[in-house]
Amino acid sequence: MLILGLLLSACGTNIGASPTPIPLPAVGTSSDSSSADSDSNEMDSDEVKSSDADNDNNREATTSATDAVAEETDVVESGVPALAPTATPESAEEAAQTVSNGVGLDPVQLDIEQIRLSASITSMEWRIVRIDGQRTTEWIIPDATAGWHPDSAGVGEAGNVLISGYQNAGDAVFSQLALGNVQVGMEIIMTAADGSTQTYVVSEVGTPIPLDGASAAETDQVVKYYAPSDEAKLTLITGWPAFTTTHRLFVIATLVE
């Protein structure tokens, strides 16, 4: 082999190319052939043994991997949380009591008995509009009822219940607000979808805020009126004055615990 290598090197043969096959010498005598066959059989036997050993190793590796997967599966299964416990009669009763009190339900009626204001409430929808060339959204206030903002709180729950109504259009359900007849300390009875009621007391009658030309402070105040709250409160929203709409009026009431 060394001599062959030297010859290839001397001839400048490209090692990377496929070399031309070189004829092998004749095997020789029959005894040499028998010996070669014997050696070949021994080599075959060794290869079989080696193959058997490899198979054994593969089986052991497979068994080990299977065991590992089983162990891992056991760990995963043992980590699965138990099903949520079934509600006890007591917790079911509490849940039923909460529903019966109307807490968190949609409002359907609003009454201020002292000024004989009684208005049905429906959940409002909204639409996309263009104002000064800008796309925005606005609530569609009902003509015959007050409108509940469905993204606000429900009756009696922590949060800000937002109710809007017209004062000079449709049935003008909030005309009494625009006329200045609502006063601090008056009670507002809110009826929930299940017929239960919650009582709120008026804590603030805001100063009307202009729709156009509002100051920065007034704009900030409007944002606060609409904002969610940690306490249970009610915000009534309408136009002002009673005969036209140049301003927005807000009446705030807090829940009587």
What confidence score (pLDDT) does residue 135 get?
93
Q: Which of 27, 199, 196 is nearest to 111 (CA)?
A: 199
Strands 232-240 and 125-131, by their bridges, are: unpaired
Alpha carbon 65 to chain centroid distance? 39
Label residue 161 by pLDDT band (50, 70, 90).
very high
SS3 121: strand
Label residue 38 by pLDDT band (50, 70, 90).
very low
SS3 93: helix
Q: Residue 204 carries which side chain, given as an amino acid letter?
A: E
Asked: is 108-255 a CATH 2.40.260.10 domain? The reply is yes
Strands 197-205 and 187-192, by their bridges, are: antiparallel
Label residue 140 by pLDDT band (50, 70, 90).
very high
Dump pLDDT digits (tens) for 187-203. 999 999 999 999 999 99
Dump pLDDT digits (tens) for 80-104. 222 333 333 344 444 444 444 668 9
* For residues 58-63, average pLDDT: 48
* Contact assessment for residue 236 and residue 147, using Cβ atoms and an 8 Å cutoff: no
pLDDT at 13 over 80: no
Report the C-alpha gap between 138 and 131 in whole angstroms: 10
Element (H, E) at 233: strand 232-240
Half-sphere exposure of 221 (CA within 13 A, CB side): 18
pLDDT at 216 over 70: yes
Report the C-alpha gap between 78 and 208 in whole angstroms: 63
Q: Which residues contact 196 (CB under 8 A, 6 or more apart)?
A: 100, 101, 102, 105, 155
Sign of the Cα pseudo-torsion (51, 57, 63, 69, in order): negative
pLDDT at 50 over 70: no
Q: Which residues contact 228 (CB under 8 A, 6 or more apart)?
A: 152, 153, 159, 160
Report the C-alpha gap between 146 and 110 in whole angstroms: 9
Half-sphere exposure of 203 (CA within 13 A, CB side): 12
What confidence score (pLDDT) does residue 103 get?
87
Label residue 235 by pLDDT band (50, 70, 90).
very high
Sign of the Cα pseudo-torsion (49, 52, 56, 58, in order): positive
Half-sphere exposure of 61 (CA within 13 A, CB side): 6
Q: Which residue has the higher pLDDT, 44 or 247?
A: 247
pLDDT at 17 over 70: no
The mean pLDDT of the chain is 74
Q: Which residue has the higher pLDDT, 172 or 131?
A: 172
Strands 187-192 and 107-112, by their bridges, are: antiparallel
What confidence score (pLDDT) does residue 23 get?
35
